[in-house]
Structure 1
Amino acid sequence: MRDRTLSDRAYENILSKIMDGDIPVGGKLPTEQVLSSELGVSRPVLRQALKQLREDDVIVSRQGSGSFVKRRPEGAILDFAPIGSIADIQRTFEFRAAVEGEAAYLAAERRTDSDLNELRASLAELDRCIAEGELGVAADEVFHVAVCNAADNKYFVAARSSMKSNILTGMNLTRNLSLTKPQDRMKLVQAEHYEIFEAIEKGDRDSARNAMRAHVENARKRIFEG
Structure 2
Amino acid sequence: MTTSVFETSTRDTMSGRLSGVVYDRIVDMIANGSFPLNSRLPTEMELSKRFAASRPVVREALERLREDGLIVSRQGSGSYVKRRPEADVLQLAPVGSLADIQRCFEFRAGLEPAGAALAAQRRDEADLAKIDAAMQALERCLTEGHLGAEEDSNLHDEIARATHNQYQVSVQASLRSHVIAGMNVTRSLSLRRSSEQLRGVQTEHEHIVDAIRRQDADAAYAAMRSHVLNARTRMFEGI
Give the counterpart letter for 2:208 in structure 1: I
Instruction: Return the match for 2:170 from 158, 169, 174.
Output: 158
Displacement of 1:74: 0.9
Q: Provide structure 2 residue ranges, at least 5 long, that are not aligned to the other structure.
A: 1-12
TM-aligned CA deviation for residue 53 of structure 1: 1.0
2:151 counterpart (139, 143, 155): 139
Letter in 1 for 2:211: A
Q: Determine if contact 1:119/1:147 at 8 Å carries over to the other structure.
A: yes
Q: Could you say which residue in structure 2 is the equivalent of 1:203?
A: 215
Instruction: Determine whether 1:107 maps to 2:104.
Output: no
Q: Distance in 1 between matches of 2:195 and 2:211?
A: 25
State the partner residue of 2:6: none
Which whole-Å deviations, capped at 9, do the CAs of 1:100-157 have from their partners, x for residues lacking one?
A: 1221121111011121222222222222221221111222122101110111112212
Amino acid aligned to 1:184: E
1:14 to 20, 26, 30: 26
- Return the letter of the residue paired with 2:112: E
TM-score (norm: length of structure 2): 0.87
Taking the aligned partners of 1:2 and 1:142, their CA distance within structure 2 comes to 32
Deviation at 1:28, TM superposition (A): 0.8
- 1:38 is aligned, of 27, 50, 59, to 50
Shift of 1:209: 1.7
Contact 2:153 2:176 in 1 (8 A): no
Q: Residue 16 and residue 191 in structure 1: after superposition, are their counterparts in 2 closer, same or farther (change >3 A)?
A: same
Q: CA RMSD in A?
A: 1.7
The answer as to whether partners of 1:16 and 1:83 remain within 8 angstroms in 2 is no
Q: Is the 8 A contact 2:28 2:87 kept in 1?
A: no
Question: What is the CA–CA distance in structure 2 between the aligned matches of 1:51 and 1:198, rounded to whole Å?
Answer: 37
Q: Deviations over 1:166-186 (max 9, x none)?
A: 221111111111110111100
Q: Calculate percent identity across the aligned residue pairs.
A: 48
From 190, 196, 199, the equivalent of 1:187 is 199
Q: Is the 8 A contact 1:107 1:150 kept in 2?
A: yes
